[in-house]
Structures are given as structure tokens and as C-alpha cells.
Chains A and B, each alone.
Chain A
Amino acid sequence: MKNNILIIGGGPAGLEAASGLQRLGYNVILIERSSMLGGHLASWDRLFPDGVSARGTLKGLLAQMDGVKCFTDTEVRSINRLEKSYNVILSNGITVLADAVLVASGFDLFKAEKKEEYGYGIYDHVVTNADLEAWFNAGPDSDTRIDKPKRIGFVHCVGSRDEKSGCRSCSKVCCATAVKQACEMKQAFPDAQVYCFYMDLRMFGRHYEDLYLSAQKDYSVRFIRGRVAEVSENVDGSLLVKAEDTVAGKPLKVTLDLLVLMAGMRPSAAGKRVGKLLEMPMEEDGFFAVRDGILAGQRSGLPGVFLAGAATGPKTLPETVAEARAAVVEIDRYLSDIFPNVKNYKTLVRERW
């Protein structure tokens, strides 16, 4: 007998944890709501700060999944807590007796149309960060909204740091994404004038500040410290964008051919459904609570239920992967303690370093 571990969510956190646990010898079942694995990573083109290929990164994650039982198009239908484990019925009819559950349900992108004054879904040339990645992936003719723009704007903090749209906190990754995408647009359209509208540039990670400097120096991106207040459409279909340049202390307007909204990270709706079935505590922001933000960041308030990645708040990809590995260790510790007599077959095959 081996311990069963159910992983909910087939994004980077779920994939990395699954391969790690599988390697330790556990019996891992991973379920993914959509029809393909990879989460948001699967629809992204390149990753900040160095521009590595998202596809390549996902390929790396998927390459280690041998032995993991993966069910796509599958959700949790019900969960019942038994004495030491959880009886989980899946939407595909399969029942799993899970000794540990890892919730790696990730995030949803903020629905940019909720920020009504930015006109997403109303004005012809307003897109989101995700739309832009899809366009990078699919090629120049794949989106009519992006039509050889000469003037491009990026709006930071869309659905982040905004109590009006129900999210007070920072989404962490949008600043770096915006700067990365601003440079990429300059690569695609060297003659374009590119603006970034920000409140604070949170370029906290290694190489991020270099990315910012490069955007200024090498790509002539203009950074304007002011939140976009309103977008409207001119008679020729171009956009009129208004903000304050808070450095100058004056209202500002600019005509643009394309506006990219940096939609932030919101708690995943599917994750919330799972949380409800488990009665797992959430914080005010809608993300799951952890037992201890420093020492037990992967443990939920429930025994045997663990968390990794953006299910507990906005994370970068390296942080998500690191959390997944941390969860592997936490789960291994937990199962060794609770089921001391179960012999999970630990791998004897050494890695070739």
C-alpha cells in the first residue's frame, strides 16, 4: 500500500509538486478542470525577466510527469473527511481515497471589463496582458484590435490596488509583465511610442530592475507616474487616455492606437468551489489562508490539506515552483508522521547530476 495524494490543479504548481511526490514514491493523482495541462503558462508566450519561452518551461514541467495519473476536464464533485484521509468523488465518476490533498488551484485573471472606465470589450483597441500574449503566440494577424499601432499604452494595476474593483492588494507580477511586454511591442513595432502608466514600479526580483532600465534606455519606453482615470474613443477609432502626471502635478491626455490593460490576479473561482467543499478558510482578499505565512506557508487550516502557488495569493512563476517543492517536503513529512507504517516506495534511481 502506498499513500494516495490528490493534487487539484494542473498548472505549474500542481505539475511541479506532482512530479516531486511521484519521485518520492507516492501514488499521485492530478486533476485539471480544463482540457489541457499548464494553466496560464500554457497561454503565455515569453516570461519575464529574461524572455524565456513559456512553452519551453511548460515542456520542462511536463517532461517529469511519468507515472502521475492525470485527469483533465475533471473537477471535484464532493469531498468527505474521514478519520485520516479524504474521500473525494470526481466529476468523471472516479473516487479517490486521498491521504493528502494539495490545492494548487491558482488564480483567475481579473475580468478587465469590470473596470468599466477603461472600455475593455467596448472600445475597439483595448486589450489585456493575456490577449497580448495570445497575439504574440498566434502571430501578427491573429487579433484585429492590434493593427500596426504607432502609439501604445500599458496600464498597470488593472483590478489590483483598487478597492472599487474589490481588490486592495498588489498582483505582484503585472509591473514586470508590463515592462516586458512594452519592450516586446517595441521589438514588434520599432517606430511605436510606448507609454507605461504606473503608480509604483514594483521591480523587486533579480534582473527586474535591469529590465526596467533596458525599457527606458534601449526601448525608449516612457514611464508616467499616474493611474489612468478614463479611456474614451475618438471619431477615428483611436483612444483618448487621461491620467495625471503626478510628477508634474498636471492632468495629461494622450491619443493611442492600442491600450493594454495589466489585468491582475484574482482568486480562482474553481478554487473557491473546492475551498467551499472543504470548508477551507479564506482571507478577506478571497485567497486561501495559510497556517503560518513564514514557517508553514504550504499548510492550510485543515489536516492533510496543503497549498501551493497562487491559490494563496499572487506569485511569480519561480515562487510558485519553489512553493510546489516546499509542498512536496511538507506533504512527505505529514504522511510519514500520520502513516508511519505505510511503506511508500522511495525512489532508488539516483538523478544523474
Chain B
Amino acid sequence: MVDFGFGLVPSSRINLDLFDREKFEALAALEPDVRKCMACGSCAAVCTAGKFVRTSVRDAIEELFNAHPDKALDLLKSCQLCGKCTMVCPRGINTRHLILSIAKIYGTK
């Protein structure tokens, strides 16, 4: 193989065809409210951990839909389960339970 000093670079494009529906259905069975998010960002705005480390329930849900569960977990790894997001969610999502459920379904441990 020839080394040209540069090569193909990774793509950032979301490919919805890769979405793992079965796994998401398992999550929704545990916590149906995951579907109710309307991406308003209230949770991220009040997030205690988010002031120090990028943390966002909203973005994590989006990443799950976008076939990047690894990124979703990354966005939640600093969560302290303080529950402020649950208090502010206008759709009344039990975000703490949702976060725990995501960890359960998608977590490696």
C-alpha cells in the first residue's frame, strides 16, 4: 500500500439506517417516557454536572435515536442523579429513571 501522506477521514454523518430498533424498544418497555422528549433543553440547562462536564439528557436521547448509544452513555456518565432535570421537564419525564434505564439497556457492565 502506498502512503500518500493523507487518507480517507471518518464521517460524522448520522445514518438512521443503523438505528437499533429492538434495543430501543427494550428501553421504551422499561421507560416509555423516553419517546416524549421534545428536545427543549430544559434538562441540560439546569444540569448540575453539565456545568463541569458535557452532560445532557436531551442530547443523550438524540444520540440513541441517531444510532450512537456510545455517545449517549458518554453524555450521561457524569450524571449524579440529583434529579433537577426531572423537576424541570415540561413533559414530566422521569429522567432519573430514564438515565438508569439507558444504563441498564445500553451499558456494558
Contacts and interface: CB of A to CB of B under 8 A. Distances in A.
Contacts of B19: 193
A217 interface: yes
A202 interface: no
A252 B14 contact: yes
A223 B38 CA distance: 8
Interface stretch (A47-55, A130-138, A243-251): A243-251
B62 A252 contact: no
B16 A254 contact: yes
B78 to A, nearest CB: 19
Interface string B21-46: 10000001000100111110000000
Interface residues of A, number: 20
Interface in A205-261: 212-213, 216-217, 220, 222-223, 225, 245, 247-248, 250-255
A118 interface: no
Contacts of A251: 12-14
A253 B62 contact: no
B65 interface: yes
A253 B15 contact: yes
Contacts of A213: 36, 91
B35 A248 contact: no
A248 B36 contact: no
Given A220-B35, A255-B16, 10 more contacts: A216-B36, A216-B37, A216-B38, A217-B35, A217-B36, A250-B66, A251-B12, A251-B13, A252-B13, A253-B14
Nearest first, the 7 closest Cβ-Cβ pairs linking A and B are A254-B16, A252-B14, A216-B35, A251-B13, A247-B39, A247-B62, A248-B62
17 contacts: A195-B16, A201-B38, A213-B36, A216-B35, A216-B38, A217-B32, A217-B36, A220-B28, A223-B39, A247-B62, A248-B14, A248-B59, A248-B62, A248-B66, A252-B66, A253-B16, A254-B17
